[in-house]
């Protein structure tokens, strides 16, 4: 079973509108971390936002917010006021055994977002 599922291979959004990128995860751990990364066409991986499983409030970083619904095991990324520069691949990732020795991040397959002018 996939640990991280991103069901939207590609999405379009009009410039200045908000968009939600879906991410569901599968873990039996109580302590874990969720991450979103952006990969523009230039190829680098850019960290956007983090949510810990014990965080009571949804994480926000500028125009990015993470809609964390623990019971549903979803961690959707919301981008407000989309800009042309937001066109990129977006990856959701999870670290299990948070704070333990395992350490590695498991990535979803990504969603390609295209912002239309």
Shortest reach from residue 108's CB to another protein, in Å:
6
Phi then psi for residue 57, to 5 deg, are -105, 150
* 38 is a contact residue toward another protein (CB under 8 A): no
* 103 is a contact residue toward another protein (CB under 8 A): yes
Shortest reach from residue 44's CB to another protein, in Å:
6
- The whole-angstrom separation of Cα 53 and Cα 98 is 9
Q: Which stretch binds another protein (CB under 8 A): 14-22, 66-74, 76-84, 106-114?
A: 106-114
Q: Could you tell me how many residues make up the chain? A: 117
Smaller CB separation from another protein, 78 or 89: 89
Please give the C-alpha separations between residue 49 and each of 14, 32, 65, in angstroms, as whole numbers: 22, 14, 8
* 95 is a contact residue toward another protein (CB under 8 A): yes
Sequence-separated (6 or more) residues with CB below 8 Å from residue 90:
21, 36, 37, 38, 39, 48, 77, 110, 111, 112, 113
Binding site for another protein (CB under 8 A): 4, 9, 33, 35, 37, 43-45, 47, 50, 52, 91, 93, 95, 98-99, 101, 103-110
């Amino acid at each position: 079973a996939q640990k991280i599922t991103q069901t939207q291979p590609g999405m379009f959004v009009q410039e200045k509108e908000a968009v939600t990128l879906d991410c569901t995860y599968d873990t039996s751990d109580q302590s874990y971390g969720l991450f979103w990364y952006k990969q523009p066409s230039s190829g680098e991986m850019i960290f956007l936002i983090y949510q810990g499983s014990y965080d009571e409030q949804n994480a926000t970083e500028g125009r990015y917010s993470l809609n964390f619904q623990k019971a549903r095991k979803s961690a959707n990324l919301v981008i407000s006021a989309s800009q042309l520069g937001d066109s990129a691949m977006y990856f959701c990732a999870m670290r299990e055994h948070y704070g333990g020795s395992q350490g590695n991040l498991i990535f979803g397959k990504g969603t390609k977002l295209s912002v239309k002018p």
